[in-house]
Structure 1
Amino acid sequence: MFQQAHALLPTATHDEFAREEFCSSLRKMFTTELFPGANDVYRQRARPAFEARNGRPPKTAQEVKRLMDESFYYRGSNLVGRAVQELVWDTVGESIERQLDDLIELARPKPDAKGSVRVDPDMEMPRYIEAVDIHVMPGNFHTEIAPDDVMAGALYDRGVHVFAFGGLGDKNDALGVAQAEVLKEKFPNLKPRRILDLGCGPGFTTLPWRDAFPDAEVHGIDVGAPQVRYAHARAEALGVEAHFSQQNGAHTDFPDGHFDVIASMLVTHECPVPVIKALFKEAHRLLAPGGVMLMDGGMPIPEDPYVQMQTSWFGMNANEPFAIGFKAMNYPKAVAEAGFAPQNYFTAQREPVYLKGQLPPISFFGAVRE
């Protein structure tokens, strides 16, 4: 479970690393064995029993959920999934707390920095951010526990690597790399001047854009000050020029038409539907003519009620209450309502190199600014 070292990456003692390895192994077992195993329980036992009692198969995800709740296997595997979800953050978080003062000092902007960072001390945090610890991550993405805090950024950087059992690559950048590849394949003649990563977190979805378009000016924004402070310092430690600012993606301070690409990864499913629509509208405002909005998601809800139920696992078990609203959206309609021409809507899929054979391809959707 190697993660590329950089100055801001939290270090671990022997015992801390051993605990992280245990969490990672348990997460992998849940993801690759226990979670898929529920499908066999449903197909071979639960559904036939339901059909024998009712003369028909389950019709809705709610019926499937009630049926599967009768299974010890299903309840037990869910317990493991939720427990390790909490254990990852607790384990990594204790390690970070031990060295937080040093990380804060390392993250302070240097006079010779390549990029930049802006924090808004007066920013009003949206209620949907404050009300939920997404992913069960304590304090969500924004909570500050010390002056100039970087805790949430460090926790997400190291925590995601442990959580994904190294599956996102040694720089946690597999998803960002895949997104940039999709854009280059669909729009091979696009030469963006400025690119915005909306909801950048600790920056591992931001920096791949610099690799893909070395001449572009790359920006990342996030509601969490600890995220952008950490993202900036991480980028500097990796020798990559990028600009980060604490902003609400639904109403930024950038001028109209400032960007040629607006990208977002793993953000929209964590937002209520009205916020998602506001993000689309703001992206339309920020894009120059011919510019592209590209986000992950966009696949319709599957017809199979069992698959519907299982694709809602994180919503039911890991504090992602808005994901179902996002999945149920009419994406082309919402994008058109934001100002994009309906004929400029598109979808795409990509299988990240690090995750081949482990998960389905990532779905993307987007639109071109007329």
Structure 2
Amino acid sequence: MTFVDNAIYKDGKRILAPTTLQQTVEESERLGGMAWVGLYRPDEAELKEVAEEFDLHELAVEDALLGGQRAKLELYGDNLFFVLIPARYVDESESVEFGELNVFVGTNFVVTVRHSEVPDLGKLRRHLEEDRPQRLAAGTPAVVHGILDWVVDDYFPVAEGLENDITEIEDEIFAGDGNVSRRIYELSREVVRFQRAVRSLPPMLETLIRQLDSDSEQSHDAAEPTGPDTVEVRRKLRDVHDHTVQLDERVTSMRTMLEHALELDSTLASKKLTEVSVTQNEQVKRISSWAAIIFAPQLIGSIYGMNFDHMPELHWWWGYPFALFLMLAVALTLFLLFRKNDWL
């Protein structure tokens, strides 16, 4: 099996890097340390091997294998399984890239299964090993906090990028951009996916904190003192919980702003359509008016141009001037009438 990383930690320090899962399990038990196994897109056989060695629940393994899960947290006896939806804002395309991270946690092991490039857990591991070994000494709770904090921190640039996009959309709406409706729908889809990733985190963290508090009380009742590192981890988790609540509120505000933007765009589009319709009606009235004015002389002329022997005024000397006068009078009368009714 090819690992992204596989190590055993004790007192916050990496003490061994096993090459097989069996060695990882055996040495972590023998040394009394914590195993942290990182996998990237394992196949079914590899994941089942991990499940057998660490006694993972089959339902959790099935979820990790299939992928496409929502953010959630589940307890299986003494083991914990949670799914996170990491995200990254791509400046070049002004879009959000989503991933999936599955984490199995036991009393002395953590197994991470990534289905995407984000988050960079290798960078997180190095950060904990080099800068936070005292926190890593708290064991699996420290790793859980590190992963959650890492993913949540990556959410803030995503939120800022989406908020900037929404501001640009508002400017495009008032500028009369014809493609803004499509951009609103695309951005709404990304915001909805981001909200699904964020909204589940506050209750997940509340459950996790209650579980750690319960474990702490049981340790206290058993006369096993709780280390300061464990207390600090719980405090840090509450801070991450506060951040997720803030993010959830920001995403909710984004959806409201997009809904208002869509309504505004529809209103402006309807207003523009109405203005075009009014303009077209004015043009039709003008055309119809001039057509009537032009038609009246033609009608009179056509009557006087009929070749019949017995016609009134046929041999009248004033007949031609009278016909011209009649044409002009009828045209002028129509012009004044249409002008009075604002058709011209």
TM-score by length of 2: 0.28
After TM superposition, the score normalised by the length of structure 1 is: 0.27
Bigger share in helix: 2
Name the larger-Rg structure. 2
Q: Which one has more relative contact order, counting CA pairs under 8 Å at least 6 apart?
A: 1
